[in-house]
Amino acid sequence: MEQEKKLARMKKLVSLLGEAGKAYYQESRELMSNYEYDRLYDELLTLERETGIVLGGSPTSQVGYEILSELPKEAHESPMLSLDKTKEPDALAQWLGEKEGLLSWKLDGLTIVLTYRDGQLFKAVTRGNGEIGEVITGNARVFANVPQSIPHKGELALRGEAVIQYSDFYKINEEIGEADAKYKNPRNLCSGSVRQLNNEITARRNVKFFAFSLVKAEGVDFENSRERQLRWLSGQGFDVVEYKRVSQENVEAAVEEFAKAVPDNDFPSDGLVLVFDDIAYGRSLGRTAKFPRDSIAFKWADETQATRLSYIEWSASRTGLINPVAVFEPVELEGTTVSRASVHNVSIVEALALGEGDEITVYKANMIIPQIAENFTRSNSAKIPKTCPVCGGPTEIREENEVKTLYCVNPECQAKKIKGFSLFVSRDAMNIDGLSEATLEKFVDAGFVKEFADLFHLEQYKEQILSMEGFGEKSYENLQASLERSKETTMARFLYGLGIAGIGAANARVLCRAFDYDFDKLRHGTREEFEQVDGIGPVIADSLLAYFQSERNNAEVDRMLKLVTFQDEMPSADEQVLGGKTFVITGSMERFANRNEAKALIESMGGKVTGSVTAKTDYLINNDITSKSSKNKKAKELGIPILTEEEFLNLIRQE
């Protein structure tokens, strides 16, 4: 009877962990916290040992998950196994015994295998399910720090982790308009970036690669030392994961040093990895069905604190998604005071059975992000709001992939408008100083701003604005002056500022030029006319049509057109001296403020700027002509002229 109960529990755990793993590895989303996953995994492992049974599909015997993407698949020459793990530093000392090892960060990104032949990057494949990975060679070529060529000419294969820094993660998330489209963590962002079908997107994400293991290097003797391998890889131009050489005597002190560095580490990590330096000894240990025996993972023993849940705060986003945030009595965790933790979605609120006054424990995932570990009370009394906390409009629960989320369905919800206003006033749009997102939120909440044109009538609320925190007479005058200056703008800036889906600053300039800088002509354009414009496909064409077929949008645009003046002048044929020419710009700028300024000049003269050098490129602009960058190398291979800024300016003067 006891065995049957254990078996039933095992089946339940395999199902729960399977769904969580599928969501995490295939879909880059989370159904449960790392803490909860580890707890359930350990429970399953204990039950398997007690019963002697390992069920089919158990995560303790499976490595990764099947791949679902359009990227090509390829089998690895040798399987990429998961690592056994421990949360006890003294277990690492026992594991090492009399041997020495290398202790390094366990980076939290996407594992990649790089292969070089004849000194050139030949192939890049993701870990996938450990047996079969996805071929992402084109994307790896645009990783921020992956060498395109190396001194070693024999075949080389190495493994490493592709990661995105926290600083880049926050920057990229800030640029994403839809709150529910924002990435939950750097790992999810990295996974989506590395597996893009368009490597121009990958290139913009600033993905970094850190080598952690050498698979083979033809003709090189490393004298049986993994440390020598890593040093050699560093000499070949690779960034190598930070590591410390350790022994039984100092490994626990090394773990403590890594732990102290976590808060300031810009790269996401979920623990450490310890591997024997002695290659032959490690190989002699063999492997289990799931784990290699030459290395072991160390996961931080999360510091947990008990506290009392005060309430659930529901935070409305710009696309209507309403996120639950747990607010609890302040506690000290990992050296800081915390009182809030994201609960992510309605499903997790229900799974934790949360309610006001519940006794909970909290921790910091990977020693950084506050999370709820357990709820001892499980009152399940939390009320899912039926009205939006911002506008008071109705809400609805939507379920997708078995995850419930709460949305405000009021199209006029003020929270949904903030991002639109933020884009409208941004530097590349109307360029209005003094209207930060926080200020816009205040103005929207106060009812001062309901549409774009209202921004230019704020003088009627002068007294109320002056009474707001952070506003004085001087800042108010500066804002009014900035608003007045912005009324003289360009059609492209205005078009971009409207926030039409798919219309970026570059597309806006191209469209304006194609429609002769005639706004009415553009907004009455047909699908066929839009699709004839360079860079405008059917999706963007449909987006333009949908926007301008709306009476409401047109009425709002008309009100704005009465306030602004376009400075565009239809360029003469003589001014289009770069017509038909394609440029690529790389490196730092000296004569221009930035690349965008150079790009704008080229486009104003009829030229086109792309992101990569191809046979269709006419010129590469790079002040460092001797650079060994991939763009310079490609240009030289194709016989494409490389111009400094000065040479480019001389070119257009001659033209």
In the three-class reduction of DSSP (H, G, I as helix; E, B as strand; rest coil), residue 549 is classed as: coil
Positive or negative, the Cα torsion across 639, 640, 642, 643? positive
- Beta-carbon count within 10 A of 405 CB: 19
Q: H or E element: which one contains 442?
A: helix 437-445
User: Which residue numbers are catalytic?
Assistant: 106
Nearest to 431 by CA among 478, 486, 475: 486
What is the Cα–Cα distance from 448 to 183, expressed in whole angstroms? 32
Contacting residues for 265 by C-beta, under 8 A, at least 6 apart = 105
Q: Is-contact 408 395, C-beta < 8 A? A: yes
Phi-psi region of 369 (alpha: psi -120 to 50; beta: other; left: phi over 0): beta
What is the Cα–Cα distance from 57 to 632, expressed in whole angstroms? 49
In the three-class reduction of DSSP (H, G, I as helix; E, B as strand; rest coil), residue 381 is classed as: coil
Axis-axis angle for helices 251-261, 89-96 (nearest 10): 140
- Cβ neighbourhood burial of 594 (10 Å; 0-12, 13-18, 19+): exposed
What is the Cα–Cα distance from 142 to 274, expressed in whole angstroms? 30
Nearest to 642 by CA among 586, 577, 576: 586
Question: Residue type at 377?
Answer: T
**Rounded to the nearest 10 degrees, how much is the dihedral formed by the CA atoms of 314, 317, 321, 325?**
-30
What is the Cα–Cα distance from 478 to 81, expressed in whole angstroms? 60
Residue with tokens 């890049």: 124
What is the Cα–Cα distance from 540 to 503, expressed in whole angstroms? 7
- Beta-carbon count within 10 A of 267 CB: 19
Residue 490 in tokens: 């360009």
- Cβ neighbourhood burial of 486 (10 Å; 0-12, 13-18, 19+): buried
Query: First-to-last CA distance in the chain?
Result: 90
* 9-39 core/surface letters (b: 16 or more CB in 10 A; e: else): ebeebbebbeebbbbbbbebbbbbbbbbbee
Q: H or E element: which one contains 227?
A: helix 226-235
Question: Residue type at 588?
Answer: S
Residue 495 in tokens: 């078009």
Q: Is-contact 488 565, C-beta < 8 A? A: yes
- Beta-carbon count within 10 A of 293 CB: 15
What is the Cα–Cα distance from 393 to 58, expressed in whole angstroms? 45
- Beta-carbon count within 10 A of 47 CB: 19
